[in-house]
Amino acid sequence: MSRADNIWIVDDDRSIRWVLEKALQQEGMEPVSFDNADTALSRLQRQCPDVLVSDIRMPGSSGLDLLAAAREQHPNLPVIIMTAHSDLDSAVASYQGGAFEYLPKPFDVDEAVALVRRALAHTREQEALAPEQELGRTPEIIGEAPAMQEVFRAIGRLSHSNITVLINGESGTGKELVAQALHRHSPRARNPFIALNMAAIPKDLMESELFGHEKGAFTGAASQRRGRFEQADGGTLFLDEIGDMPAETQTRLLRVLADGEFYRVGGHTPIKVDVRIIAATHQNLEGLVQSGKFREDLFHRLNVIRIHIPKLAERREDIPALAQHFLTKAALELSVEPKVLKPQTQDYMRSLAWPGNVRQLENTCRWITVMASSREVLVDDLPPELLNQHQESAPDGHWEHSLRTWADQELARGTTDLLDIAVPAFERIMIETALKHTAGRRRDAAQLLGWGRNTLTRKIKELGMNMDGNDDDDTE
């Protein structure tokens, strides 16, 4: 099934929007209009058009702001900037910002359509090249940890399959990256990969997003719109945060998965599609099923193959490699020299909790790239919240977690005879702390430790501890 080209028009001038809409519709394209850049920026976070056409000067965010966001979120999206003659300086800024072309006002409509067609040809070229460039490698997914090797093995086993997959993992672990890898290594690699985050869409718009709508289906539906299922025809539809899907949409999704067809909102003609579903959630879907918040039959439809993405704290050995990848990426974005983490900084970062997982680490590396004063990054160069996090987490009693982290780091360095290091250090700390609590009285300290006084005295000698304990009451 061929799809219409999706063109976004952003301009606060209603007449310009109307002229471009009509001209592009006559050419078989699917224009979507916005009267301000802020609305388009919000939509751009969850959807990408084939071409973006934007004015520069509008209330709120400017077209150049929109261009910058588009370049960051969708580097291959061609952006055409519309400029008045008085905005020629802005036109130069548009090119410097990565605009595909600029369209001076007033413009000839035929020229505008021809320019959009050129931009579309550019988009198609990029789409044709992308699978050849990307197939066979997933540089964004870095992982030597055993838990990540399991994920890689699963992607490999599914590489010749179109089977439905459910991805589990905390927010920020990289569920969408895994979904993209599954798509790139599948028989559908040259067809669209369409992503939709259930948690980011208002419930009353979700069915329109998924299935599209007919003109006049509801207030504001000024033209027919293709939904994500149609956009993904022949390819893969990634439904992120599937646990947030409302009950009525769950019912419609189940019907599509069973029949392979659906109706647009307000439509009466069934539409047949061939779409592979990859779903993801950070929630416990079984728990949602038991509480009646998620359909059991839909759960079983989605839960054919399940892949668990480990949180960053479960793959600490990957943190240095991930950090260096993100530091290099940030340096390229900002056209600066990449920062390098000192070994003690790597060790410190490995010891942190990272509740935001890989996404938090990536944002931290951006912060370091901008804020760290020297090329070599010391512990003190890290964001204050990471330094505070360590200080706040130290006294909370989770010593086993810290011990496990230390053991992981030492074994990763190739240390052997680990217990010969750890046990004496542990006993020394326990003895020193107990004696501190008893003001140096060994008999009382031995009682706190659960030892006899003679055992404590022997341990102090074995450990070579120079203790001036109060032995006046230590005779038995």
Report the alpha-carbon distance of residue 361 to residue 367 in Å, rounded.
10
Which of 382, 298, 369 lies closest to 331 in space, CA to CA?
369
Return the higher-pLDDT residue of 121 and 193.
193
Report the alpha-carbon distance of residue 36 to residue 51 in Å, rounded.
17
DSSP readout, 284-350?
Answer: -HHHHHHTTSS-HHHHHHH-SEEEEPPPGGG-GGGHHHHHHHHHHHHHHHHTSPPPEE-HHHHHHHH
What percentage of the chain reaches a pLDDT higher than 90?
A: 36
Under 8 Å between Cβ of 252 and 209: no
Tens of pLDDT, residue by residue over 140-157, are 588 888 888 888 888 888
Tens of pLDDT, residue by residue over 254-297, are 999 988 888 888 888 889 989 999 999 999 999 999 999 999 99
DSSP lists the bridge partners of residue 237 as: 194, 277
Helices 146-157 and 175-184: angle between axes, nearest 10 degrees: 30
What pTM does this model have?
Answer: 0.56
Give me 33's structure tokens: 């209009």
Residues 290 and 387 in one domain: no
**What's 378's DSSP letter?**
P
Report the alpha-carbon distance of residue 448 to residue 332 in Å, rounded.
57
pLDDT at 130 over 60: no
Mean pLDDT (whole number) for 45-72: 85
pLDDT at 168 over 90: yes
Residues 403 and 387 in one domain: no
Domain that residue 361 falls in: 315-393
Under 8 Å between Cβ of 74 and 48: yes
Residues 292 and 344 in one domain: no
Residue 70 within a domain:
yes
Residue where a domain stops, chosen among 245, 276, 308:
308
User: What phi and psi, each to the nearest 5 degrees, are found at residue 265?
Assistant: -60, 125
Residue where a domain stops, chosen among 82, 98, 129:
129
Q: What is the CATH number of the domain that holds 427?
A: 1.10.10.60
What is the structure's pLDDT at 95? 57
Residue where a domain stops, chosen among 259, 280, 308:
308
